[in-house]
Every structure is written in structure tokens, then in C-alpha cells.
Amino acid sequence: MWMAVIAAGVALSALFLYWLLVSTEGVYLGRRVVVWLYDLTANRYDDIKEYDPGDEFLLVTRPVLNALSGIARPRVLDVATGTGRVPFDLLQSPHFDGHIVALDDSRRMLDVARRKLAPFEHRVTLIQHPAVPLPFPDKHFDAIICLEALEFFPSDEAAMYEMVRVLQPGRYLLTTRRRGREGRLFLNRYRSRDNMRQMLEQAGLRQIQFHPWQVNYDLVTGFKPRS
């Protein structure tokens, strides 16, 4: 009898730890734990993710290029850039002639990004910094991107207000919403589409759209109104 109780206790503790450190990646333990976990996995991150370059271009790079068309030398901010996924693709495009600021709080993720982005070093600035507050003036960027990261910030809402603050009026923001079973594991941090739309509108975005993306994400786009 006691053995069964102890075994159940161990199994439940293991499940709880898995949820705390793997499913929700430390978000209930605070920013430093999240970033520490990314520091630990940085060198394996790209192998784990196995991005498809074709899908990346079609679903991420091309829409960003379209949103930037007609803007000379655009300034782009990638919040929580990780290993530089978005800058790497954008900077390879002959249609992009701008500069990218790639911000992340994990030094080791940025180390990987720095190696990948070495051929473009004059067109990208890597900054180790948390997403809140953003160390930039108001209305500074022509596009803001933040992929697969909002759910890990201490407050996705505070981060969104910061992103909208530094975005120029009339310009474009691209982010993601964690959905499906994985999304619901974030419990009170989970946002339905309606709930996320409301949060983005309150932060000041308009023309908000959701597009299913990868297995457990929506791509979410919006614009900051001109007035």
C-alpha cells in the first residue's frame, strides 16, 4: 500500500516538474529561469526546431517583405530573436535593404545568432536585453516581429505595449499565439483568439488577423493606426 502511494507521489512530482520546466519552459518560475533554460539548449535549438526554409520564406519572410515594400532602408526589430531565425532569412533576401535589431535576453541564444549572422554583421545589431522595457525611443521601427515568445514573457501585455510604443504609426507587427493542447497547458496565461485580439487592440493595434501556423501556433498580424 505504502509503496503504491510513494510511487504515485513520485509520478505526480515528475509530471509537475515536466509541466513546470518543459511544457511551460519555466514561465511560472520567472524570466531568469526561462532565459537560463534557453541558455542551456541554445546550441541544440535549431536542430530541435528543424525549420523548413520554404515554409519560413512563404509564411514569415515574404509577408514581412510585402509589409515593408516601398519603405526605404526600413528599421526592423525582432524581439526574442533567439538564434536569429527571422534576421537570417530577411537579410538573405535581395528585396531587403534595411537594418535589423535582434533582441533577446539569452546570451547563448545570441551567441548562436551572432555566428549565423556574421556575413551580415553591418546590417544587424544584436542586443542582450529583456523584452520589457525596450531600450528604444517611441515610433522608431518600421516593423516589429516577435515569434514564439510572447507566452514566455512575465507579461505578454506589457511586452505588447512596449512593441507598439516603438512601432511607427502605419507600420506592421507580426507575432504568434500559442494554440491547441500546448497552448492550454499555459493555464491562465493561455489566450483564445478573441482574448488576444482584445489585448492587441488595447495595446493600440488594428487590422488584426490570425493565420494557423505550424502545429501549435497562429501567426498574428496587425498595424498601428496612423492617427
Q: Which residue ranges make up the site for ligand SAM (CB under 6 A)?
A: 31, 34-35, 38, 80-82, 85, 104-106, 109, 130-131, 147-149, 152-153
**Shortest distance (Å) from residue 166 CB to ligand SAM:** 14
Indicate the residue whose CB is closest to ligand SAM: 82
Alpha helices in the chain (DSSP H): 2-18, 31-41, 45-49, 53-56, 62-68, 85-92, 107-116, 156-166, 180-184, 193-203
Q: Closer CB to ligand SAM, residue 11 or residue 50?
A: 50
**Shortest distance (Å) from residue 130 CB to ligand SAM:** 4
**Shortest distance (Å) from residue 72 CB to ligand SAM:** 26
Q: Closer CB to ligand SAM, residue 180 or residue 225?
A: 180
The single-letter DSSP state of residue 143 is E
DSSP string for 9-39: HHHHHHHHHHIIIIISTTGGG-HHHHHHHHH
Cα–Cα dist 111/141, whole Å: 24
**Shortest distance (Å) from residue 36 CB to ligand SAM:** 9
Q: What angle do CA 210, 215, 221 make, to 5 degrees?
A: 20
**Shortest distance (Å) from residue 73 CB to ligand SAM:** 23
User: Closest by alpha carbon to 172, among 226, 227, 126, 91?
Assistant: 226
The single-letter DSSP state of residue 44 is G
Q: Closer CB to ligand SAM, residue 13 or residue 93?
A: 93
> φ, ψ for residue 220 (rounded to 5)?
-125, 125
